[in-house]
Every structure is written in C-alpha cells, then in structure tokens.
Amino acid sequence: MRCKSISQKLYIVNFPLFFLKKFQMSPIQAEISAWYLAHKRPLPWRETQNPYFIWLSEIILQQTRVDQGMAYYFKFVEAFPTVFELANADEQSVLNLWQGLGYYSRARNLHATAKQVVSEFHGKFPDTYEGLLSLKGVGPYTAAAIASFSFDLPHAVLDGNVFRVLSRLYNWSVPINSTQGKKDFEKMAQELLDKNNPGLFNQAMMEFGALHCKPTQPNCDNCPVQLYCQAYAAQTVDQVPVKLKKQGVRNRYFLFELVQASPDSILLEKRSEKDIWQHLYQFPLKEFADNASKQAYMTALSPAFQSKEYKHILSHQHLYCHFVTRDLHASDTAERISILAFDQYPIPRVIERFLEDYGLDIFESQAR
C-alpha cells in the first residue's frame, strides 16, 4: 500500500496537487518538488542566481561534503567577492585558501576559469549551456547546474544523487559509469526534468537523493514517489544503481625529509611535474618502488627523528608516507624558506596531518 504523500502529512495545502494544476507537472515532478520545498537545507548558494557564486559552490562541492564545503565557500566569497578579485589573485593565495579540500587541480582550474571569464567574457559568465562548457574545468554537470540555477535553462543535472534516484525510479541496472549507462541516464534525466522550473527541479532531485533516497537505508516506507518507483515494486532498491569496478589502486611509498637549512629556515620544494599536488609545496621527497626499499633506506639513514606511517588515500592511489630528519647537503636544491613564513605556502593534506601531530617544533629554530 502506498504511503501518504508528503503533502498529506505536512501541509494544509496539498502542494503536489497545486503543482500538478498550476505548473502542469507530472505526478513525479510534483511530488519531488513539494518534498524539496518542505525539506531543503538552507544553503547560501540556493539564495542567489549569481552565476559566479553558483559556479564557486559547484566547484568546491565536487568530491566534498556539504558541511565541509560550506566553510570554504564562505572563505572564498569573503576573499574574492567577484570573479575579478579571484582572477587577479596569485595562484599561491588561491591554493592556500583551498588547503585541506584536496583535489588541488580543482583550485587551479578555478583560478584559470576566473581569468578566462574576465579575459574572454569581460567578467560575465556565459548564459548558454554551450558557452559554459567552454570554460576550463566545467563539464556537463557543472554547466547544467549553472545554466538551470542561474539562467533557468532546461538542462538536467546528473550527479551521484540523481543517478541513484533515476536508477530506482526506473529500476535501471545498466552501469551508471558505462558508455551506454551515461546515455541512458542523460536521456531519462532530461525527459523527467520540469522544463518550466528546471532550476528548482534539479535542486529537488539532488536533495531528494542526498536526504531521502540515500545509498543505504533509503526511506522507502515514507516515500512520496513510492507508487511510481519500479525498484520498490521489484524489491531491487538495494541493487541499483550498478557501477563498474574502478581501475586498480596504485601504491606509492613516500619519504619526506625534514631539513633545517639555518637556525630559522627550512627546505621546501614546489611540485611542478604533472602528478598529484601540482604547484603545492612539500618537504624534500624521496619515492621508493616498494615499502621494503623505503624501510632499508630509513634503517641506513638512522635519522634522529622518524614519524609514524601516514596512509593517505586518493581516488586511484594509496600513499604510504614517513617523515624523517636529516642534515643539510651541499647538493640540496630545494628552496630555503623562513619557518615564520611557512603558513604562506600551500601544502598537501598529508603534510598537514603530520604537522597537526608534531608541529614545526621538530625543527630546532631560534626564531620560535
């Protein structure tokens, strides 16, 4: 038996019926839109149609929880209230503000896109889906989000939450990360989209997936679209969406060397090669082919200080990191920086974790 709709439980006015008649919505569109208006979280980027703020929030929230991303959103809005301020900032300031979010290529693309908007579009974001796609670091999802939220253009968003809602509504078991799956879900999302209210409905679908139709323990017993959910009828809710297995994980073995260059300076090097953490700063690094080689090196080095092991997990890489002290060598080419200026340099999260445990007191500085 179908549960009562959310409108019957929470409203004096029957919102889904109102939407059906007023905006000529389908029953699924009406139910999900009504649920959203009753349950949506008060997020600051939902209170504006400014494409700069919406773009900023979307880039920050990629691979990031909303509660974590919120603080970074406010930091960026305060530091760079318009795209012009962000475009004119130096890269190190942007990376410093981004520090702790990971996936630093997003920060570099963020900075590059701001420069592109200023130089090519005179500080105004393109107001077409195709124009938005021309921006660096903006893919189909982000372009659809900005197009619908800022300009009310009928482009459906597809994120993990929407994939999940659609796969359950239609009991669709084609893998969401397969070529055919992407085509199928793009078509389903676009067909279901409320073309008269694309921004609201896109937000509703994402929020519904995040809060109600969750990956585990979805609230099926009190679901406003239970009647239309084919996975619920087939009892396959826990079997969709289907996703192809990821590529194998690469293990890497890092040894960071803590080198004091003078009483008040230490060595740092900037990562410039096309690899993880590009343009971030780190202590001089040695990488080993396997853990045994790294352990043998540390034993031979017999450092005055050796940290515990830090395991740092990236999407397709697992990093096994140690930190050791060593003396300054004549062959060292890393940059000498003042310990007092250390906070001005953007560093990877694994080095942050080390410093949270040990601090810079590991260096015998006369400046502290």
335-338 and 250-262 as β-strands: parallel, antiparallel, unpaired?
unpaired
Structure tokens at 213: 């139709």
Catalytic residue among 31, 47, 58, 335: 58
Helical segments of the chain, H only: 6-10, 15-22, 27-39, 51-61, 66-79, 83-88, 91-98, 105-121, 129-133, 140-151, 160-169, 179-192, 198-211, 230-234, 291-301, 349-358
CB 69 within 8 A of CB 43: no
Collapsed DSSP state (helix, strand, coil) of residue 260: strand
Q: Cα–Cα distance between 177 and 165 in angstroms, integer? A: 15
Q: Which residues pair with 367 in a beta bridge?
A: none
Q: How far is CA 270 from CA 87, 281, 346, in A?
A: 22, 4, 10
Q: Count CB-CB contacts under 10 A for residue 226.
A: 17
CB 350 within 8 A of CB 271: no
Percentage helix, strand, coil for the chain under 3-state DSSP, each rounded to 5? 50, 10, 40
Structure tokens at 180: 């055919």
Structure tokens at 92: 């190190």
Structure tokens at 178: 């397969």
Q: Which residues pair with 250 in a beta bridge?
A: 317
How big is the chain, counted in residues?
368
Q: How far is CA 221 from CA 166, 217, 224, 326, in A?
A: 18, 10, 9, 61
CB 33 within 8 A of CB 200: yes
Active site residue 58: yes
Residues taking part in catalysis: 58
